[in-house]
Amino acid sequence: MGRSLESLQAWIKRQCRTDTVGDQRMNQAGFHGISGNETPYTRMLKEEAQMNWIYNLLASGANWVLLAGYLVIPGTFTSLKESNSVEETLEKNNAGRVVLSTIQNPPLLIVACLFLVTGATVLGWLFKMYKANYSWLTNKLFMPATLNAAAGLLTTIVNVCASQGGEWSVMALVTTIVTGVTLVICLGLSVFYKFFKLRKVIQSDANRSSYFEIFWMRDDCLDHEVDEAKEQDRGIRICIGNDEFSRAQNLALLLASAIQYCWRSDQRTQSVWVEVRADTQEVLACLQNDGFIQSSKLKISHERYVIMEFARGSEVVVGSA
C-alpha cells in the first residue's frame, strides 16, 4: 500500500517549517521512493527486472545441473556390462552380486550425485536470498525445476522400459522415487507461490487505497501522456481510493502545498504537472468546487482522471469557487 493522504499532510507540515527544502531533506522526510508503482507486487517486478544478471545465470545454471543429474543417473542402471571378466568377478560372492544388480556404473553415479547436490544447494541458497520475491522464485526456480524433474522422471521410465526390458532394479526404483518426489515438491511450490502467495499480493496491490509520489518528469513523463514537459519539471501523482474519499476534502490544499514545495526546491522547475486518479467522481468534483482545477492549465480530463499543469508564478487557487 502506498502512503495515505494523512502521510502527505504530515509531510507537508514538516516541510512548511523549513525555509529551504532540497531533495536530501525530502528523502530524510521519508518521501523518496513513495509511489503508486512501489507496491509490494511492483517492487517484486522491479527487483526482478533490475536484478544482477549473475543471479539469473546461477538460477539457470543450477537448474541445468539438476537436469544433467537427472539425465546421467539412468546410465547407472541402463549401461551394459562392458567387461565379462568384471561381471564374472563380481558374481563370485553375494556382495558382488548385490553391487552388480544395483549399480552397474559407480563412477557415473558419483558424477550424477555431484550434479544433483550442487544444483540443489545453489537453488536452496537462491531461495533463501530471494524468498520474498514470489514472482522471481516462481519464474526462475520452481517452474524450471518442475519441468526438469518431469524430464528426469520421463527419462528414467523410458530407459527402464527400453534398455532394461521393463525390469526395475533397485537403483531404477530409487531414482524414480527421488525424481518423482522432487517433481511433486517443485510442482507444489510452483502452484502455492503462483496461485496463492503471489495472487494474494496482486489482489492486495489492486485493492490498495490512496498513494502519492513526487518525481522528475525526465524519469516518468506521466506515462508519456505529456509531450511538452521539460526534463527539469516536476510531477505529482496521487490516487484516491474509495475508502479514502472522506480524507480527500483537503486534497486541494495538500496539492497546493506540494506544488509550492516543487517550485521552492529547484529554481529550474518551470512547471509542475499534477496527475489525479480517483475511484469516485466526487474526488474530482471536490477539486472543481475548490477552484483548484480551474486555476490550472488542464491537459487531460476524464471521468476519474485528470492531468493539470501549474506554471511557475501562476496562482494556485484553493477554496475560491
Strands, sheet with 211-216, edge to edge from the N-terminal-most edge strand: 211-216, 234-240, 271-278, 305-311, 297-302
Question: pLDDT per residue over 73-97, tens digit each?
Answer: 776 654 434 444 444 554 555 555 5
The pTM score is 0.52
Question: pLDDT per residue over 166-202, tens digit each?
Answer: 777 777 788 888 899 999 999 999 999 999 998 888 7
The pLDDT value recorded for residue 242 is 56
Poorest-pLDDT segment among 104-118, 138-152, 189-203: 104-118
DSSP class of residue 227 equals T
The pLDDT value recorded for residue 254 is 77
The pLDDT value recorded for residue 298 is 79
Poorest-pLDDT segment among 129-143, 217-231, 239-253: 239-253
Of the segments 7-11, 116-120, 218-222, which one has the largest average pLDDT value? 116-120
Q: Are 292 and 255 in contact (CB under 8 A)?
A: yes
Band of pLDDT at residue 15, cut at 50, 70 and 90: very low
d(CA 211, CA 34): 8
The pLDDT value recorded for residue 125 is 95
Arithmetic mean of pLDDT over the chain: 74
The pLDDT value recorded for residue 25 is 35
Q: Kindly list the distances between the CA atom of residue 67 and the CA atoms of 163, 183, 223, 246, in Å, as whole numbers in the listed order.
A: 20, 12, 42, 57
DSSP class of residue 103 equals -
The domain spans of the chain are 5-36+208-311, 44-205
Name residue, grid cell 509542475.
272
Alpha-helix runs per DSSP H in 266-308: 281-289
